[in-house]
Amino acid sequence: MLNRIVLMTLMLGVVFAGMPGMLEAASGSGKSKVGKVEGVLAAKSATGVVIRVQNGSTVSLKVVATTKIEVAGVRVPLTRLRVGARTQARFDPATHVASKIEQ
């Protein structure tokens, strides 16, 4: 039983060790936390996107009317994002609502 607990603890440590590159929480002075993710756009719909990060896991984000979407620094509609393109996003970690998505 103790061996299983130790093994599970080690496995979780390995899984979580890879996560800092996937999701990064940063806080400014007096600002709420913002999640950041970088990877490849794996999928998109009218209400959200899925970004695949380097370790193969995915992050699903909701897109709302206030989400800023940019391609090459120019604001565009969600439909202009290209699946398979390098993508980065900022989002609220509690709700997974994207504040900005850019390619």
**Tokens matching residue 50:** 């899925």
What domain range includes position 80? 2-102
Tens digits of per-residue pLDDT, 13-47? 433 334 444 444 444 445 568 999 999 999 999 99
The per-residue pLDDT for 13 is 42
CATH number of the domain where residue 8 is located: 2.40.50.320
Q: For residue 53, which amino acid is it?
A: V
- The model carries a pTM of 0.70
Which has more confidence, 10 or 44?
44
List of residues 6+ apart from 8 with CB closer than 8 A: none
Domain count, the chain: 1
Q: Whose CA is closest to 54, among 96, 98, 97, 22?
A: 22
pLDDT tens digit sequence for 49-82: 999 999 999 999 999 999 999 999 999 999 999 9
Q: What is the pLDDT of residue 28?
A: 46
